[in-house]
Structure 1
Amino acid sequence: MFIRTESFAQYIRLYPVVTVLLAINIAIHLATMLPFVGKPILFSGAGANYLIAEGEWWRLVTPMFLHWGLMHLLFNMFSLFIFGPELERFAGKLRFLTIYTLSGLFGNIATFFLKDPMTISVGASGAIFGLFGAFGALVYYTKNAFPQLRQIMMPIIIISLIMTFLQPNINIVAHITGFIVGFLIGLSYFHPKRIVSWRKKKIHRVK
């Protein structure tokens, strides 16, 4: 299910939203590595709570596309690369993008309100945990129909949540908020009645 066997061209064609998100994050990180301009790019978009309080509201969005280092980027993008396609395929492009962006956004908003004013944070982790939350909702609704999904995702979700509290320098607030937001949106999107409605619309379009 989560083993990627597509060619590069197939991956881009089948999962355009995931591909664009990967490309944006990687391109911006490469830009932050450039001499002279790299650090200004990073710090002009980082989620600095004291600057958000002064009116720099874009910092509630831009941290989703910035990372402190290569390993930080690789962990988040690897998760997006592996788990994103199945959710995009199942939910659809717009719904997937909604889950991703709202989870990341509310993770940053929660960080602003709940953490120290001097907190500075970056990373797509809140959005990534939103994907995990959405999968949690999907498992909740399909636990009997798709036991394989439950067997794969539940250990990943549990381990990811546990590691959030064990690893140093982790924005716990963003992770947990992103997960909750993704789960709640997933409960709405993946409700059995709504799934039936999607299928009827698809059948109608085919006819």
Structure 2
Amino acid sequence: MPWQKSALTLSLILISAIISFAMGFGENRELMRLLTFTDFSIRGQQIFHHTFSAMLSTGQWWRLVTPAFMHFSELHLVFNLLWIWVVGSRIEQLHGRWVMLCLFLSAAILSNLAQFLVSGPMFGGMSGVVYAVLGYSWLWDKQGYRPRFGLPQGLMGFMLVWLVLGYLGILQWVGMGAVANTAHLVGLLVGLLFVLPVKLFSRRVSS
């Protein structure tokens, strides 16, 4: 069945939806504390969070990935998961489940870490992964590799404009809320860099 070829992508979407609704899109602080990059506490207007090394030393390794599943509004959730379905399912179907899994984990961990270093633990969303799958599929097609993903040519231009608008603060100014710009940028770089090892590995397997 077609959905079985996209089982990983569907699982990522389902986990994101369950977690986002369970934490009330940010209202359930206790659940958030279990899933943010590091644990945190709020005293007055200040946020105090554990360090990265403290998180690792206490064995809370899941936190490297779980912020990617947290979303803070219905629009945020739908926007990200639509891209994950459209692009991620193509990657899983054409390049295999392991490629999609490795791309997801690399993008989630590195974009989460980068965003944490810039802003602390109060962030979430699959946007870094979205930029990774878009960057990967765009560069793969741009290099003329096969099989092609066949995404619209102007898609990457749109996402780059969106990235610039985020860094300029325009998205937040028009009411989009805080934007994890660093996660977007790092996710994009991960996706672009991921093309080379996948191509080299596919050549080795086929030779």
Shorter-chain TM range is 0.7 to 0.9
Cα distance in 1 for partners of 2:5, 2:105 equals 20
- Matched residues in 2 for 1:181 and 1:163: separation? 20
The Cα RMSD (Å) is 3.0
Equivalent residue of 1:142, what SS?
coil
Aligned partner of 2:44 in structure 1 is none
Distance 1:45 1:61 in 2: 9
Which structure: greater helix fraction?
1
On the 8 A contact 1:29/1:67 being kept in 2, the answer is yes
Structure 1 counterpart of 2:23, one-letter code: T
Which residue of 2 is the match for residue 5 of structure 1?
A: none
**Residue number among 144, 155, 159 corresponding to 1:142 in the alignment:** 144
Corresponding residue pairs, total: 185
Listed as ranges, the matches of 1:1-207 within 5 Å are 10-33=1-24, 38-48=28-38, 50-53=49-52, 55-57=54-56, 58=61, 59-113=63-117, 115-116=118-119, 118=120, 120-142=122-144, 148-149=150-151, 151=153, 153-165=155-167, 166-168=170-172, 169-190=178-199, 194-197=201-204, 200=206
Going from structure 1 to structure 2, the CA distance change for 1:148 and 1:137 (only over 3 Å counts) comes to closer
Q: Check conservation: 1:141, 1:190, Cα contact below 8 A.
A: no
Give unpaired runs (5+ residues) of structure 1.
1-9, 202-207
- Name the amino acid aligned to 2:34: S
Output the CA distance in 2 between the equivalents of 1:145 and 1:112. 36
Aligned equivalents of 1:65 and 1:147: distance in 2?
25
The residue type paired with residue 125 of structure 2 is G
Q: Indicate if the aligned counterparts of 1:164 and 1:175 stay in contact, CA closer than 8 A.
A: no
Residues in 2 aligned to 1:146 and 1:65: alpha-carbon distance in whole angstroms: 28
Instruction: State whether residues 25 and 66 of structure 1, in contact with CA within 8 Å, keep that contact through their aligned partners in structure 2.
Output: yes
Q: Which moved more, 1:155-164 or 1:170-179?
A: 155-164
TM-score with structure 1 setting the length? 0.75
- Percent of aligned pairs with the same residue? 21
